Amino acid sequence: MTMLRALSFDLDDTLWASLPVLQRAEQCFYDALCERVPEFVARVSKQELRDHRLGLLRAEPRLRHHISEWRRRSLTEMLRAHGYGARSEQISDEAFAMFIQARQQVELFAHVDTVLAQLSQRYTLVSLTNGNADFHQQDCSRYFHACLKAEDIGVSKPEPAAFAAALAAAGCAPEEMLHIGDHPRDDIEGAKAAGIRCLQACIVKGPETATPLADGVFSDWRQLPDLIEKLAGGR
Ligand SMILES: [Mg+2]
């Protein structure tokens, strides 16, 4: 029987709700532009900023794994196109700094800290996110052996290489790991394709949104230890 040795955790919408954080971060990004380049903001709409980002991604798909660079590059290019020349990169860096600072202001779901503390006594914990939150800034990251970000490892979920990086960090085989995340494709299908069992966090959207592929579903962190226990003995 294969023992469960490690748990990998998605972050956004698994440990905290991402929408309010991202909305706030977007606003801080925009405010930084209003302050620094009001004439640019008057000429370029939020939609145009978004459209440019999407166009850049189509031109350079690898930026999907480097979302911070993607955002900075897109803004720099737009500023250059609007005549900001050599200042473009600095303005872009400053606006991004405001975005990423706000990006860290997350509020953990209830019981996350307690449950992680408990699980870390027994399992090696690894975080695996496609987002650009700096998990090291959260107190509960102290329970984790490794914190992996797509933009650091150069590959994002659902690609098997992302899960392989988590396995390598935890030093275990796929059957010894359990992945916990909210996203049907990135977390659940991705983990399964990598031969890793998974639990789906349906905290934001509710358990009715669960995908049948998941080995279990939870909508409250207090349910997690028992669910893991059930899967811990073998497959
Ligand atoms: Mg997520």
CB 13 within 8 A of CB 112: no
Q: Which helix (H) or strand (E) holds 86?
A: none
Tell me, in angstroms, the distance from the centre of ligand 1 to residue 14's CA.
Answer: 6
Question: Does the pLDDT of residue 18 top 50, yes or no?
Answer: yes
For the chain, list the domains and their CATH numbers.
6-17+107-232 (3.40.50.1000), 20-103 (1.20.120.1600)
Residue in 16, 7, 22, 21 with CA at minimum distance from that of residue 203: 16
pLDDT tens readout for residues 31-89: 999 999 999 999 999 999 999 999 999 999 999 999 999 999 999 999 999 999 999 99
Tell me, in angstroms, the distance from the centre of ligand 1 to residue 12's CA.
Answer: 4
Q: 107 exposed, middle or buried (CB, 10 Å; 0-12, 13-18, 19+)? A: exposed
Tell me, in angstroms, the distance from the centre of ligand 1 to residue 22's CA.
Answer: 12
Tell me, in angstroms, the distance from the centre of ligand 1 to residue 161's CA.
Answer: 18
| Alpha carbons 213 and 30: distance in angstroms, whole number | 39
Q: Percentage of the chain surpassing pLDDT 90?
A: 94
Tell me, in angstroms, the distance from the centre of ligand 1 to residue 87's CA.
Answer: 35
Give pLDDT, residue 127. 98
One DSSP character per residue, 161-190 reads HHHHHHHHHHT--GGGEEEEES-IIIIIIH
Tell me, in angstroms, the distance from the centre of ligand 1 to residue 15's CA.
Answer: 8
Structure tokens at 214: 């998941």
| Alpha carbons 137 and 197: distance in angstroms, whole number | 28
SS3 149: strand
Residue in 22, 49, 55, 10 with CA at minimum distance from that of residue 33: 49
Q: 69 exposed, middle or buried (CB, 10 Å; 0-12, 13-18, 19+)? A: middle
Tell me, in angstroms, the distance from the centre of ligand 1 to residue 165's CA.
Answer: 17
Give pLDDT, residue 89. 97
Tell me, in angstroms, the distance from the centre of ligand 1 to residue 98's CA.
Answer: 22
Residues near 85 by Cβ (< 8 Å), separated by ≥ 6? none
Tell me, in angstroms, the distance from the centre of ligand 1 to residue 114's CA.
Answer: 20
Residues near 61 by Cβ (< 8 Å), separated by ≥ 6? none
Question: Does the pLDDT of residue 233 top 80, yes or no?
Answer: no
Task: Say what the pTM is.
Answer: 0.93
Give pLDDT, residue 1. 54
Tell me, in angstroms, the distance from the centre of ligand 1 to residue 43's CA.
Answer: 34
CB 128 within 8 A of CB 10: yes
> Which phi and psi angles does 136 have, rounded to 5°?
-60, -20
Tell me, in angstroms, the distance from the centre of ligand 1 to residue 39's CA.
Answer: 36
Tell me, in angstroms, the distance from the centre of ligand 1 to residue 5's CA.
Answer: 22
Structure tokens at 83: 């005549």
Residue in 114, 87, 143, 76 with CA at minimum distance from that of residue 225: 114
| Alpha carbons 189 and 1: distance in angstroms, whole number | 24
